[in-house]
Copies of this chain bind each other. A is one copy, B any other.
Amino acid sequence: MKINNNFLIKMRLFCVILIGGIKMHAEVIAVGTEMLLGEITDTNSQVISEGLADLGINVFYHNLVGDNESRMAEVIRLAASRSDLVVISGGLGPTPDDLTKQVVARYLGRDLIVDEKAMTKIKDFFARRERDMTPNNKVQAMYIDGAVSLQNEVGLAVGNYYHDEQGTDFLLLPGLPHEMKSMFETKAKPLLAQQYKGQQVLNSRLLRFFGIGESNLVTKLSDLIEKQKNPTIAPYAKENEVTLRLTASGSSDVDDQELLDELEAKIQKRVGQYLYGHGENNSLPSVVVNKLRKRGLTLSASESLTGGSFQAAITAIPGASNVFPGGFVTYAAEQKEQLLHIDPKLIEQYGVVSEETAGAMAEQTRQIIKTDYAVSFTGAAGPDPLEGQSAGTVWIGLAGKDMPTRAKLYHFPYDRQRVRSSAVMTGFGLLNDVLG
């Protein structure tokens, strides 16, 4: 499968190879018949692979097998024969076809023993709900003798980490994505880091960029990426943004933060103008909404081609009501005139997809809703052209107190949905630049 160009893939492989201390080979297994039937997509294996790559652990294979004892045993035997670490998600739940722990225990010739802390939690859970606990439910609190039991902070089934100096290590995680993710991040990754990275402490920092493509970003940082050892740099391209994950491995958290600060400063110098935030939960809309909120500023909008998606993105963020009182969806030209009181002559003269209309939309919206800023969107989302303007042509207007109203022209060479989402993110990008 070719999604990115080869250079990027090589850069990434290079990161994974450089980061490693001891050279581990890991393998990922997902368990669940409903995925073999194509009912749902296995997303766990991707999340696990990304986390293992952060730790410098190579992944050579993914496998997916149903809730079938003999086929599961066969896949586990094969994985153990060719990998140093086998990470399995799924099959830890309370139903009779949840068999992962049992199958791995049998492969290892070990018993399952009870984690009393987890058992108490399960008993409490059923007592509070006044429901009877079936024997199957107890299995959720059991773990393989000799393994570390991993507490499940968002569910009932414990995970397992089994280390064998001579043989293969096993990490067993729940199948529900949010349980898996929570246990992997908070319980398993620190253990893996400790086991495979010696006494080193691992710390990551996610940098988020908007307005620059992945190839361009990687090119501007190519010498840093080629020279990288500690911290490492892993670029990821997402729709409408690029992220860099920096991972430092030092003798303490303080050491790591110093290493990360130093590298971030170098990156800032070269591409700082595109860096808008840090961390998984800080999307560009939430960064903008939080900046506005902290400064007591307000925002409104009027949307034509984006049809409400910009305002939907603002209001998706809890607490948006402090910042955003409301706005307009002025899809038809007459509504730009009726709701925003734009002079019909202006639209007639310049057209709806124009600098003048975008500017007037933003200006009028700000006046009517009485906010500090207002953003406007007008353009041709496609598939058809609009007023002779090709699909993907978008004007974004921005009005604000103490600044002249402006409008910028964009051409997004994508399909309808992506033209709209790119326009929305670009609107947030413009606001973020103005807010500084």
Q: Which A residues form the contact surface with B (CB < 8 A)?
A: 1-4, 6, 9, 12-13, 16, 30-53, 59-66, 68, 71, 75, 78, 89-91, 93-95, 97-98, 175-176, 236, 301, 303, 305-312, 314-316, 318, 320-321, 324-332, 334-335, 338-339, 368-369, 381-384, 416-417, 420
Contact = CB atoms under 8 A, between A and B. Distances in A.
A149 B335 CA distance: 54
A326 B316 contact: no
A59 B46 contact: no
B61 A45 contact: no
Given A1-B32, A71-B61, A311-B308, A41 B43 contact: yes
Nearest to A44: B1
A236 B39 contact: yes
Nearest to A333: B325
Given A12-B34, A65-B60, A369-B335, A41 B41 contact: yes
B34 A53 contact: no
Given A12-B37, A50-B38, A329 B315 contact: yes
Contact of A36 (B59, B303, B308): B59
A383 B50 CA distance: 30
Contacts of A34: 1, 3-4, 9, 12
**Closest CB pairs A-B (n = 7):** A307-B315, A1-B175, A38-B50, A308-B308, A38-B49, A62-B64, A308-B311
Contacts of A90: 1
A37 B49 contact: yes
23 contacts: A1-B34, A2-B94, A2-B95, A3-B40, A6-B95, A9-B34, A12-B39, A36-B61, A37-B49, A37-B50, A39-B50, A41-B42, A45-B64, A62-B62, A307-B320, A307-B324, A312-B312, A320-B331, A321-B332, A326-B339, A328-B328, A338-B368, A339-B339
B316 A329 contact: no
A12 to B, nearest CB: 6
A417 B321 contact: no
Nearest to A91: B1
Given A37-B53, A42-B62, A61-B63, 6 more contacts: A1-B93, A35-B46, A61-B64, A308-B309, A312-B420, A321-B331
A318 B38 contact: no
Contacts of A311: 307-308, 329, 331
Contact of A41 (B35, B46, B320): B46
Contact of A65 (B32, B51, B61, B335): B61
Nearest to A13: B33
Nearest to A46: B41
A223 to B, nearest CB: 22
A256 B353 CA distance: 49
A335 B331 contact: no
A400 B290 CA distance: 39
